[in-house]
Structure 1
Amino acid sequence: MGVPPDDDTGHALPPPPPGSPTDPQTADDEPHSAIKAVRQAGQAVVGGGRWAVVRARQFTHSSGAGESGLSRLLELHAFNTAGDAAVAISLAGTVFFTAPTGEATGQVALFLVLTMLPFAVVAPLIGPFLDRFQRGRRWAIGTTLAVRAFCCWVLAGAVADQSALFFVAALGCLVSSKAYGITRASAVPRLLPDQLTLVKANSRISLTGTGAVAISAPIALGAATIGAEWSLRYAFVLFVVGTVLAILLPAKVDSSEGEEKIDLTSANGTQGVLAPRGVVNALRCNAGLRLVTGFLTIFMAFVLREPPEAMGWGGNATILMGLVIGAAGAGNTVGVLLGNMLKSRAPEAIVVVVLILDTTVLVTASLLLSWVTAMVLGLSAGLCQSLGKLSLDALIQRDVPERVRTSMFARSETLIQLSWVIGGLIGIGLFTIEASVKVGLLAVAALVLAWLAFVITALRNAAPPPHG
């Protein structure tokens, strides 16, 4: 037995009470308690992850999606959007926020022009290309992901000096991302289960993408704090997995049995089946909506770096940008939910109403500019774009014959993506000439108002005369 300790007077000290820090038994238990806490935390994380995977799998495989192969497309889309989010975070950290606005404007404008103009030239060719080579859809989708994986690996090595190779790789990422949207849209009708409509299937795809971004963005941000090259390598891994999933899509994605081409012109139907007027009108509305979204994405990215005094924001600029982007994401999610609730009720009217709403909010925000109206504008853009696209899907399923539906999706998605690029180019042009925020918003509002007038006029002219 050990000798009990004593105090300065030579008297023996009483033993420490059980459970006190100086109790030998407690001291021995402390490492075990820490290990136990870590183990419990690890088990909680693993359990939460397993629960999330099970719930996600239930979501992607429900309503016959597992049997039809749509679930594989949903999983593929999750990796695609997660990778795109990681690339966007990486490029934002290297291009938009590394230099003062005056020094970065010319470089960023050049970067955006170089990345968008080639797609504006290539986009009209993608739809006809898919019509000609319909048997390679899996490989076409996989190629858009594989190209981005390669470009991300190149970007990770070139991000430090931002050489010409950096811009070429960024161009490859953007063009491949837009091309993916077109090729994926053409594959959806081939994988549609009997229990789901096109609207519900595309709503599920949109929600899957939103969830993937919510999970991936924090991981990409954490990697970007170490260095932009690490978030790009993370994106590389995501795109590689997506490429494998694309190749493993069901073989019927490549089948063109019973398919014909669609003609979006109103001249004649000699090149294919003529698209219904209601679908063409909905496509025009969506073109206007995507032009607004493309413009706001680029123009407001510049503006919100250093918010003008007219916006009345006195806090951190990054926080304001996060609020506006968050509002746009929330609007997109609400639009998907509303689209599911409304189902197929008067989609030809909804698509016009959302274009009117988007234009109205754009005009209001330009006249009453503030950080609050900027958030409302983001919310409106996300909501209207989502509802407009779902209404277009409903019209395609209702009015377009099944034999040309795949071709219709490829052509319509091409036009929608091109409209986004044109809107982005307008945003670049207005910012580089140093137009004020109000002038820029008013200019685009005037353009969209003119487009709305054209859409309504064409709609009235196409309407049958009243019976008298």
Structure 2
Amino acid sequence: MHEEDLDGTHRPGHSPSGSPVARLGRMSAGVGRAMGRGVGRGGTAAFSGARRFTHSGGAGESGLARLLELHAFNTAGDAAVAISLAGTLFFTVPTDEASGQVALFLVLTMLPFAVVAPLIGPFLDRFRRGRRWAIGATLAARAFCCWVLAGAVSGDQTSPTFFVAALGCLVASKAYGVTRAAAVPRILPSDFTLVKANSRISLTGTAAAAISAPLAGLAALIGAPWSLRYAALLFTVGTVLAILLPARVDSSEGEEHVDLADLADPTRDETRRPGIVITHAVVNGLRSNAGLRLLSGFLTIFLAFRLREPPDSVGWSADPTLLLGLVIGGAGVGNILGVLLGNGLKSRLPERVVIAVLVLDVAAMTVIGVAFTWWTAVILGLTVGLCQSLGKLSLDALIQRDVLENVRTSMFARSETLLQLSWVTGGLIGIGLFTVGASPRLGLLAVAAILIGWLAFVLSRASEAPEPRVDRR
């Protein structure tokens, strides 16, 4: 190499500006700067688009945008925890041993939650500043449990510390659903319905989980503790956002409180409890959603184990993890389609829609149970995701239409409690059928029979119910 003198000669040590090496250096620097600008613009555009979505329609002013943001961190953290536990508890031990451990998880999750869940709503009713701190507590508890799990996951996964920390994550996750549901009616923008608000919450959560899952997977490649530490960070941010929710989330001015007995025995008059009116349409909508959520819990657990080592009859010879991903992906697509359809249907005859989706779920379970293959499993996941999403949005529409505003917040908390318990019940049925060695077809048909009986009960009650009232707001 040469350095060019003033007279045009070259000296060793430098390259002329027009040499191939110099040109290559300038091109590389230019490409790097262009890529940097592109990534920066893409990130800025994505952030701006997300912010417009969460803050549009008055959501920024009402405080709903802050709830959307903390829900995004919640679902992102849950996705990271699911990947971490799947990589340690589920896929790294023999199938029989894994089923026993997960069965213990579910039992330990259901029993404490069954005791605590009915107390969450009354606790929030009693303390005016309960909701923000209760939501934040569920996120903070998971942040702490994930940090503890990160230390325990590399050791003995049957140790009490591992089980207790995992139990804490699962219970706190379900408690979050109850506490968040109670907060939504308090921060609705003036032109928002509950259906629209919960649709936006659902889409935000789905997008956050889709973004977080690959990041958690990359962290898990370094080591399982790192994906759990990543989850702990997400929950910590969510805790701060929960505390920063508007103060009106805690306000209970003018509110009345619904008991679980009001849901078991609906009445159209106020003779039993003045000011408390829960219509038959709302209770039937809740019953239909309980069936949908039970099916979701069953499939989540049962298919997770059955497709871990797919039998020959399924017709799948590739990686089982990929098959599970297809089924879960189908459920995610179904959930998004349900949100879009729910927004399109608005609140038209929600009492019929909520029963129709239960009928569709039962029919799909029965047909696919008879002809179960890997591709029908994907269709089943899509159908269940679609029906669960539409069913929940229809229940929201019923609550907004038929439930007086003074009990609407409490109604959301109580209904979400029952739906969470329905999911756990379905999970227990799934692990029970797997434990006794039920094949995919037998398992699906067994639960289809249970749901047919439940559907008959819902239809019989619906036929007895009087016509629902119109707009009760």
TM-score band by shorter chain is over 0.9
CA contact (8 A) 2:17 2:23 kept: no
Answer yes or no: is 1:216 the counterpart of 2:212: yes
* Aligned-partner Cα distance in 2 for 1:317–1:116: 28
Unmatched tracts of structure 2, length 5 or more: 3-14, 468-473
CA contact (8 A) 2:151 2:225 kept: yes
CA positional deviation for 1:256: 0.4
CA positional deviation for 1:30: 2.5
Q: How many residue pairs end up in the alignment? A: 446
Matches of residues 411-450 of structure 1 in structure 2 within 5 Å? 411-450=414-453
Answer yes or no: is 1:285 the counterpart of 2:283: no
CA positional deviation for 1:381: 0.6
Q: Structure 2 residue aligned with 1:331, among 331, 334, 339?
A: 334
* Aligned-partner Cα distance in 2 for 1:223–1:47: 25
* Aligned-partner Cα distance in 2 for 1:88–1:368: 30
Q: Which amino acid aligns with 1:264?
A: L
Q: 3-state SS of the aligned residue for 2:19?
A: helix
Answer yes or no: is 1:100 the counterpart of 2:94: yes
CA positional deviation for 1:207: 0.4
Q: Structure 2 residue aligned with 1:253, among 246, 249, 256?
A: 249
Q: Structure 2 residue aligned with 1:173, among 157, 169, 172?
A: 169
Answer yes or no: is 1:189 the counterpart of 2:185: yes
Answer yes or no: is 1:145 the counterpart of 2:139: yes
Residues 432-456 of structure 1: per-residue CA shift (max 9 Å, x gap) = 1111111111111111111000000
Q: Which amino acid aligns with 1:202?
A: N
CA positional deviation for 1:429: 1.0
Corresponding position of 1:126: 120
Q: Which amino acid aligns with 1:168?
A: V
Matches of residues 292-331 of structure 1 in structure 2 within 5 Å? 292-331=295-334
Corresponding position of 1:378: 381
Corresponding position of 1:363: 366
Q: Structure 1 residue aligned with 2:79, among 77, 82, 85?
A: 85
Corresponding position of 2:27: 33
Q: Structure 2 residue aligned with 1:455, among 452, 458, 467?
A: 458
The normalised TM-score by structure 2 is 0.91
* Aligned-partner Cα distance in 1 for 2:226–2:451: 40
Corresponding position of 2:265: 266
More moved, 186-195 vs 131-140: 131-140
More moved, 81-90 vs 44-53: 44-53
Q: 3-state SS of the aligned residue for 1:47?
A: helix
Q: Which amino acid aligns with 1:355?
A: L
Unmatched tracts of structure 1, length 5 or more: 3-20
* Aligned-partner Cα distance in 1 for 2:81–2:105: 15
CA positional deviation for 1:39: 2.6
* Aligned-partner Cα distance in 2 for 1:148–1:103: 25
More moved, 103-112 vs 448-457: 103-112
CA contact (8 A) 1:135 1:256 kept: no
More moved, 310-319 vs 334-343: 310-319
Corresponding position of 2:12: none
Change (3 A) 1:116 1:26: farther
Q: Structure 1 residue aligned with 2:153, among 159, 167, 175?
A: 159
More moved, 37-46 vs 223-232: 37-46
Answer yes or no: is 1:399 the counterpart of 2:399: no
Residues 100-155 of structure 1: per-residue CA shift (max 9 Å, x gap) = 32343323322332233322332232223322234311000000000000001000
CA positional deviation for 1:22: 12
Residues 252-311 of structure 1: per-residue CA shift (max 9 Å, x gap) = 000000100123232773386131111001000000000000000011111111111111
Residues 364-390 of structure 1: per-residue CA shift (max 9 Å, x gap) = 111111111111110111000000000
Cα RMSD (Å): 1.8
CA contact (8 A) 1:120 1:421 kept: no
User: Following superposition, which runs of at least 4 residues in structure 1 exceed 4 angstroms of deviation?
Assistant: 21-24
Q: Which amino acid aligns with 2:68?
A: L
Corresponding position of 1:235: 231
CA positional deviation for 1:23: 10
* Aligned-partner Cα distance in 1 for 2:71–2:274: 32
* Aligned-partner Cα distance in 1 for 2:102–2:247: 42
Q: Which amino acid aligns with 1:63?
A: G
Q: 3-state SS of the aligned residue for 2:129?
A: helix
* Aligned-partner Cα distance in 2 for 1:136–1:121: 19
Change (3 A) 1:69 1:31: same
Q: Which amino acid aligns with 1:371?
A: W
Answer yes or no: is 1:135 the counterpart of 2:158: no
The normalised TM-score by structure 1 is 0.92
Q: 3-state SS of the aligned residue for 1:273?
A: coil
* Aligned-partner Cα distance in 2 for 1:63–1:89: 35
Residues 390-436 of structure 1: per-residue CA shift (max 9 Å, x gap) = 00000111110101100000000101111001001111111111111
CA positional deviation for 1:24: 7.4
CA positional deviation for 1:226: 1.0
* Aligned-partner Cα distance in 2 for 1:445–1:128: 35
Q: Which amino acid aligns with 1:125?
A: L
Q: Which amino acid aligns with 2:228?
A: L
Q: Which amino acid aligns with 1:442?
A: L
More moved, 94-103 vs 246-255: 94-103
Change (3 A) 1:105 1:264: closer
Decide which structure has the larger Cα Rg and report it: 1
* Aligned-partner Cα distance in 2 for 1:36–1:153: 42
* Aligned-partner Cα distance in 1 for 2:299–2:169: 20
